[in-house]
């Protein structure tokens, strides 16, 4: 018997919710299914974003061609960054003590110190990930020309949250409602009561106002918040809060960036090829014909592992007994067993890129791990050549693997001051370093050498002629002045006569006057 829809008691026909694990394709697919099916198609869409953030994202999606009537695949990965303004309430006393001790304002202190002591991240990131339910909801809204309501607070403080053990979100594919019913209570442990109590109250109040204005509403947001929001909506004392539809952006606080593949991979479900398969099969939500998505991740991963084996072992033969590649050939079954056992321990139905590489690094040589990472990271990445005017949000080059420390890389390869990103997908992430694909590195900007800069310097030709003429005339004047002798009458007293040694020492010091003996 199919699970009951995730609905709201007497409002079951008016509110359809997709509480989601962020960046997992099963929940993006469910949003698309509800929007594409005429029987469940919403009149309005509400998302867990602040109004200014939703407006900036919608504007960029429109510019990329979403909602134009054509199939548009989102470049991966684009993102919106914004400066954070808030510290977590629990760090207020420590922040005051830090200011008094250092004698500096907080913004004058090193970012690493603020991050380690206060958990502060200077920048927040919204990746435009095709496999995220919120981004999918915004795409569907543009395709259906439905109003969008941003029901969350625009800004809120954040800190690293408690880790929670959930069933593998891959099991939610095609059965999102049943997954939500099983996991909504365990996921609640991921909340931060100091911040999320207020956020959930605001979201519930704004949702109630949206429900009063529309007959069918689709809402998607984080799974950890859904149970609290549902309980608040069922409270008869809840007062609706004004929630106007999102208007075109007027806030210039956001920076559009290309997200480096090493950061982007953490927002793309299990592997980059999952995003690729989803985009290949996705149709605009307003199309009449719709086919269920076919995503066999296990089969695709097996094929890619075989491809990596073939590429790495293609030159290995009986004569290579002493070569390290022969060692990899012998330990290949151990690697596969280790990966299976690792998934069992972690509760994963399907391994992801990080656990696959972690297993490879534990059992295989570095050369094979590089080849495997290259195969698994194969994807049509957005590059600076495609988006010429955008900086790259790149991981810091100091070697830190926490994933939250980053920098902006401009078109000429220059890097900004490093900062920390407030991004839940990057916090507490695997320590496995994922290298960027070789093909992407060819497009990555690098800082030019002094010799390269000198070759690139160009001056407008008329100006160059004028500068040359001025320089020549100045040289002629200087040369003529050096040859001229200026004779002036001596009006002082010779006293005991000239002092040649003192005069010579004065000449060395640059004094143009004679010395006499007194």
299 versus 35: which is more confidently predicted? 35
Query: Which of the listed ranges 331-345, 443-457, 476-490 does the model predict with the highest average pLDDT?
Result: 331-345
For 157-177, what is each residue's pLDDT tens digit?
877 777 778 899 999 988 999
Residue 471 pLDDT class (50, 70, 90 cuts): confident
Model pLDDT, residue 5: 44
What are 124's strand-pairing partners? 82, 422
For 246, phi then psi, to 5°, come to: -65, 130
More confident residue, 486 or 398: 486
List, for residues 385-427, the tens digit of each pLDDT value: 877 689 999 988 654 444 578 999 988 888 888 888 887 665 4
Q: What are phi and psi of 113, to 5 degrees?
A: -65, -45
Per-residue model confidence as pLDDT tens digits over 69-92: 888 999 999 999 999 888 888 899
Give the per-residue pLDDT at 4.
43
d(CA 355, CA 297): 15
Distance between CA 351 and CA 305 in Å, rounded? 12
CA distances from 182 to 2, 6, 168, 175 (A): 14, 12, 12, 11
pLDDT in tens, 4-14: 445 454 555 68
Lowest mean pLDDT among 42-46, 191-195, 291-295: 291-295
**Angstrom distance (rounded) from CA 190 to CA 175:** 22
Structure-token pair, residue 12: 């079951």
Indicate the helix (H) or strand (E) that contains 31. helix 25-36
Would you list the DSSP string of 386-406? Answer: TSTT--EEEE-TT---SS-EE
Please state, rounded to an integer, the average pLDDT across all residues of the chain: 84
Q: What is the predicted pLDDT for the residue at 56?
A: 95
Residue 61's nearest CA partner among 48, 78, 44 is: 78
Label each residue of 279-317 as H, E or C: HHHCCCCCCCCCCCCCCCHHHHHHHHHHHHHHHHHCCCC
Task: Judge whether 13 and 216 are in contact, CB under 8 Å.
Answer: yes
């Amino acid at each position: 018997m199919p699970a009951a829809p995730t609905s709201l008691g007497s409002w079951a026909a008016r509110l359809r919710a997709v509480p989601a694990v962020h960046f997992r394709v099963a929940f993006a697919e469910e949003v698309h299914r509800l929007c594409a099916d005429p029987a469940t198609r919403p009149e309005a869409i509400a998302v867990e974003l602040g109004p200014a953030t939703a407006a900036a994202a919608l504007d960029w999606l429109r510019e990329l061609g979403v909602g134009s009537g054509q199939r548009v695949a989102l470049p991966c990965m684009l993102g919106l960054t914004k400066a954070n303004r808030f510290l977590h309430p629990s760090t207020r006393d420590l922040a005051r003590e830090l200011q008094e001790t250092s004698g500096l304002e907080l913004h004058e202190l090193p970012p690493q110190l603020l991050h380690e002591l206060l958990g502060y991240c200077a920048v927040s990131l919204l990746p435009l990930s095709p496999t995220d339910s919120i981004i999918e909801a915004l795409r569907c809204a543009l395709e259906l020309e439905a109003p969008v309501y941003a029901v969350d607070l625009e800004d809120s403080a954040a800190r690293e949250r408690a880790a929670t053990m959930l069933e593998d979100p891959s099991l939610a594919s095609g059965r999102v409602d049943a997954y939500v019913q099983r996991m909504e209570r365990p996921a609640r442990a991921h909340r931060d009561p100091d911040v999320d109590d207020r956020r959930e109250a605001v979201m519930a109040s704004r949702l109630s106002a949206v429900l009063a204005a529309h007959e069918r509403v689709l809402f998607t947001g984080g799974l950890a918040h859904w149970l609290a929001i549902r309980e608040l909506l069922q409270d008869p004392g809840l007062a609706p809060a004004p929630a106007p539809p999102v208007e075109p952006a007027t806030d210039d606080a956001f920076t559009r960036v290309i997200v480096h593949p090493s950061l982007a991979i953490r927002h793309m479900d299990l592997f980059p090829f999952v995003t690729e398969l989803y985009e290949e099969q996705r149709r605009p939500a307003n199309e009449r014909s719709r086919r269920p998505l076919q995503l066999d991740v296990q089969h695709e991963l097996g094929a890619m592992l075989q491809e990596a084996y073939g590429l790495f072992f293609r030159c290995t033969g009986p004569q290579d007994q002493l070569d390290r590649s022969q060692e990899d050939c012998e330990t290949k079954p151990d690697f596969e067993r280790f990966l299976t056992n690792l998934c069992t321990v972690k509760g994963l139905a399907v391994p992801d890129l990080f656990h696959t590489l972690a297993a490879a690094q534990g059992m295989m040589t570095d050369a094979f791990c590089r080849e495997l990472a290259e195969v698994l990271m194969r994807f049509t990445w957005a590059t600076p050549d495609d988006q010429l005017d955008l900086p790259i949000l790149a991981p810091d080059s100091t070697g830190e693997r926490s994933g939250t420390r980053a920098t902006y890389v401009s078109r000429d390869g220059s890097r900004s001051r490093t900062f920390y990103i407030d991004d839940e997908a990057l916090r507490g992430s695997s320590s496995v370093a994922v290298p960027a694909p070789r093909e992407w590195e060819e497009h990555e900007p690098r800082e030019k050498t002094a010799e390269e800069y000198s070759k690139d310097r160009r001056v407008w030709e008329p100006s160059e002629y004028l500068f040359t003429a001025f320089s020549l005339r100045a040289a002629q004047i200087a040369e003529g002045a050096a040859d001229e002798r200026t004779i002036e009458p001596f009006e002082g007293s010779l006293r005991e006569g000239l002092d040649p040694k003192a005069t010579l020492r004065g000449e060395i010091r640059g004094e143009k006057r004679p010395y006499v003996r007194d």
